[in-house]
Copies of this chain bind each other. A is one copy, B any other.
Amino acid sequence: MAAPAFTSSQEAEQAFYEAFERSNLDAMMAVWAEDEEVYCIHPGGPRLTGLEKIRESFRQIFGSGVRMRFQLRGAQQLRGGLLAVHTVYEYITVVGERQPASPVIATNVYANVGGSWRMVGHHGSAVPDAEPDPQSGPTSSSLLH
């Protein structure tokens, strides 16, 4: 599968959550940069470094048969040249379950690699079931330069 080109970190982020919802391992891994230093921290888990470990973790998640739907809220972005850092609340619903799971706050890091934006880091952790900071709109962005 030829790697798609993501023209912005937002586009890469959208592809990440779409691949997650579709449990599509190839599409998920196409979002990640081909770099030894990429890392992924699933909620409550350790840091996984490198594509091989990250692929294996998503293979297990997708292989469990649990299908998830993500509602993203309170997105904030920091950008500085070749890196972009997004934080976003993930409101996750497991398909077939009535109760939504605990919200997760995620720090997603993207890098511009050869003109295309790719995920280089994901850090998720469960948070109290609270609203995102009220002063932040649905999306805010800050350009650092």
**A interface, CB within 8 angstroms of B:** 35-37, 39, 41, 43-50, 53, 74, 76, 78-85, 87, 89, 105, 107, 109, 111-113, 120-121, 123, 125-128, 130, 132-133, 135-136, 140, 142, 144-145
Which B residues are in CB contact (< 8 Å) with A76?
37, 39, 47, 49
A selection of 13 A-B contacts at a CB cut-off of 8 Å is A36-B142, A37-B142, A39-B87, A44-B126, A45-B127, A47-B74, A47-B89, A50-B135, A81-B81, A83-B83, A107-B121, A113-B144, A125-B125
In the assembled complex, the Cα of A140 lies from the Cα of B53 at a distance in Å of: 17
Chain B: CB-nearest residue to A41: B105
In the assembled complex, the Cα of A58 lies from the Cα of B143 at a distance in Å of: 26
In the assembled complex, the Cα of A32 lies from the Cα of B80 at a distance in Å of: 16
In the assembled complex, the Cα of A82 lies from the Cα of B53 at a distance in Å of: 29
Main secondary structure of the interface of A (DSSP, over half): strand
Contacting pair A121 B50 (CB below 8 A): no
Nearest 6 CB-CB pairings of A with B: A81-B81, A80-B82, A125-B125, A80-B83, A37-B142, A83-B83
Chain B: CB-nearest residue to A118: B144
Which B residues are in CB contact (< 8 Å) with A109?
78, 85, 107, 109
